[in-house]
Amino acid sequence: MKNRSTWSKLLKRLKKHSFFIVLSLIMAAVTVATTLYVPILVGHGIDCIIGPDNVDFAMVLKIICNIAIVVGITAISQWLMNICNNRITYAVTRDIRNEAIEKIQVLPLKYIDGHSYGDVVSRVIADVDQFADGLLMGFTQFFTGVMTILGTLIFMIIIDARITLAVVAITPISLFVASFIARKTFNMFKLQSETRGEQTALIDEMIGGQKVVKAYGYEDEAIGRFDDINERLQKYSLKAIFFSSTTNPSTRFVNSLVYASVAIVGAFSAISGSITVGQLSSFLSYANQYTKPFNEISGVVTELQNALACAARIFEFIEEDEEIPDSPNSIVIDEVDGTVDLKDVCFSYVPDRKLIENFNLHVDKGQRIAIVGPTGCGKTTVINLLMRFYDVNSGSIDVSGVDIRDMTRRSLRHGFGMVLQDTWLKSGTIRENITMGKPDATEEEIIEASKAAHSYGFIKRMPQGFDTFIGEDGGNLSQGQKQLLCITRIMLTKPPMLILDEATSSIDTRTEIKIQNAFAKLMEGRTSFIVAHRLSTIQSADVILVMKDGHIIEQGNHEELLRQNGFYNKLYYSQFDTVSQA
């Protein structure tokens, strides 16, 4: 059932390439027809060599010329067929990869957070490659194989219908063997594909965290996990290959029976004079060509089973539920005034594990809101909800008096500027990374922003300055330099609202003081949300929200919270006890 569903999805994507499919079929028919015509010519040539001193050399020469012409036509038609097949295959795989990449852009964050990056990469890269190999083999060999079987049957019937009947009588055995093995191989290839994705995920995880792996001596455990997955992959692969490899010898055995039957029956027919020796030669050639496609098709079936297993994983990914789209009546807000209201907000990542409950907050324009609390209390979750990376389970969040679910995500996010603890830089020039939020920025604006973020100094020391190319995730830049570039990005866009989630965590103290001063200037008149563990960075905030277990347990400015002698007081003096006593 799942196989049939995968086929229907594949055929739907093949429809747009109908012209090349038809052209490929025509070329396949020409290839098969010319290939099958050669044995007839060879048979005529044999009949022209009756015995000593009885050879029709003129006719033999003419037949040889005809064979050369037919072989030339075969080569050209096969070449054109292969071009068509390659175009169809790689156009389909290109479209599928495009669909997959587009799907990644519209998947909800909960899917990305809930699946390993390696598995997603495996589906988009490895599974599509496996699918392409199977599809190409299918087009190249399946069409010609089926046509060859039909063509040889027609030619054999023309030569001798009785011998043809003996050939056809044994054929169902070959088909039964191939179909039986095909059913066995699909599940094994599916498990092989899934385990390969699991292996890719582990490799991606270990390479990405190699420093942590070495620092904590996790090498043996990592190798153990890899060995376990590798063992399972070996087991599934061996079973898949074992079942698939039995197809060819099994069908070859049946085909050998066919050939032997033709040779025996045909020899008696030739002796009795029913057919000539040349016709028997042609018939044996057809019997061989008739059985050969069964071997090829059995190999194609094996590859197709693998391809379908991979395609099923790809289509499963492409058909994942997308992020809830903006409603047709969504409002586009060009300018936000900076007011934010969270009303009775409840949210949890996992339904049976509560996180944020009945969260209420009013933020006036230009206020600096600091969010502090122990790890896992919901600080970053509030940011995720503000940016609508996740939607609230109940309650509402209003920005400029409008529920964020009633405005487009693009316009909502355009109103915020974010600097996170985890930096992200794309492969490209430093300029391209800085101007990501403002592609039309002038050189003067870029320089001004980089000076404000204190990144100008190290950028000018780079080989090509702002045009220096950096690799994936910043290449060889230090963590602090990466963070400075992310800060420069927000300094350039100057959005009406700011979100700073441990924005200076990787920067040295001296530079941090300068950045804090720059942020202070940038935050003037702008609503700002600051998530911090180092409480020294948020003492000037207008309102400090102290969170614990998804609730606001204390609220006020720095002095007010210290006077309350509550949780914030303990949190603060746990960091500054030595300083305060001094």
Task: Give me the domains of the chain, ranges plus CATH numbers.
Answer: 17-318 (1.20.1560.10), 329-415+533-582 (3.40.50.300)
Q: Mean pLDDT over all residues of the chain?
A: 80
Residue 422 to residue 201: CA distance in whole angstroms:
20
Residue 139 to residue 17: CA distance in whole angstroms:
13
**Average of pLDDT values for 4-33?**
84
Judged against a pLDDT cut of 90, whether residue 260 lies above it is answered with: no
| Dihedral angle computed from the Cα positions of residues 419, 421, 422 and 426, in that order, rounded to the nearest 10 degrees | 30
Amino acid 75: pLDDT: 92
DSSP state of 345: E
Amino acid 50: pLDDT: 63
**Average of pLDDT values for 273-299?**
72
Place of tokens 């699918």: 131
Q: Look up the pTM and report it.
A: 0.64
DSSP state of 28: H
Three-state SS at 355 = coil
Find the helix or strand (DSSP H, E) in which 417 lies. strand 416-419
Q: What is the CA radius of gyration of the chain?
A: 36
Residue 36 to residue 43: CA distance in whole angstroms:
12
Percent of the chain with pLDDT over 70: 91
Distance of CA 96 to the CA centre of its chain: 9
Judged against a pLDDT cut of 60, whether residue 130 lies above it is answered with: yes
CA dihedral sign of residues 484, 489, 493, 499: negative
pLDDT digits (tens, 9 = 90+) for 337-393: 888 898 988 888 877 777 888 888 888 888 888 888 887 777 888 888 888 888 888
Q: Could you tell me if 562 and 552 are in contact, meaning their C-beta atoms sit under 8 angstroms apart?
A: no
Beta bridge partners of 501: 531
pLDDT digits (tens, 9 = 90+) for 476-523: 787 778 888 888 888 888 888 888 887 666 667 777 777 777 777 777
Question: Which of 225-234, 239-248, 329-338 is the least confident region?
Answer: 239-248
Q: Could you tell me if 86 and 17 are in contact, meaning their C-beta atoms sit under 8 angstroms apart?
A: no
Three-state SS at 339 = coil
Residue 190 to residue 169: CA distance in whole angstroms:
34
For residue 275 the two structure tokens come to 């057919």
Q: Could you tell me if 92 and 310 are in contact, meaning their C-beta atoms sit under 8 angstroms apart?
A: no
Q: Could you tell me if 44 and 276 are in contact, meaning their C-beta atoms sit under 8 angstroms apart?
A: no
Three-state SS at 270 = helix
Q: How many residues does the chain have?
A: 582
Count Cα atoms within 13 angstroms, Cβ side, for 274.
15
Three-state SS at 289 = helix
C-alpha dist (Å) from residue 511 to 490, 515, 540: 17, 6, 18
